[in-house]
Amino acid sequence: MNTDQADSYESVLMAWRADKHVLTIERASRYLAQFPDDWLILSFLGDAAHAIGRYPLAEDAFRRALAIAPPGRHFRLHRHLGDVCRWSGRIPEAEAHYRRTIAEKPGDTEGYIYLGGMLARLG
């Protein structure tokens, strides 16, 4: 990673950590225009877009991240995709992503919590 890329990466990270969602989207989009295969920045983009209700952008970012993320990192991306699908009204797809979260990391409670919460709300 060269200095310009590192500085740009840090600017995305700082915006994301500060919960500055619009700024995160702007910075991540600029970064990804130059370095499109950074799954973590795609994840930050998806997270920020989801936080402000930009579900199509969030879903696209999470799906792109999932396609290139290393093994062992898919579980959280599936959880995020489950959230986006749930908020978009696609409950069966959300359930499938939450179940993938559980299957990929069964010792982690995150998938169980999100799946259980969604199913409880549905009755």
- Model confidence pLDDT, tens digit, residues 14-42: 999 999 999 999 999 999 999 999 999 99
Instruction: Kindly list the domain boundaries of the chain, sorted by start residue.
Output: 1-69, 70-123
Length of the chain: 123
Beta strands in the chain (DSSP E): none
What is the token pair recorded at 21?
Answer: 């969602």
Query: Among residues 1, 69, 76, 56, which one has the least CA distance to residue 12?
Result: 1
**Is 1-69 in CATH node 1.25.40.10?**
yes
pTM above 0.75, yes or no: yes
Q: How many CA atoms lie within 13 A of 77 on its CB side?
A: 23
Average pLDDT over every residue of 53-64: 97
Once rounded to an integer, what is the mean pLDDT over residues 67-78? 93
- Rounded distance between C-alpha atoms, residue 66 and residue 40, angstroms: 10
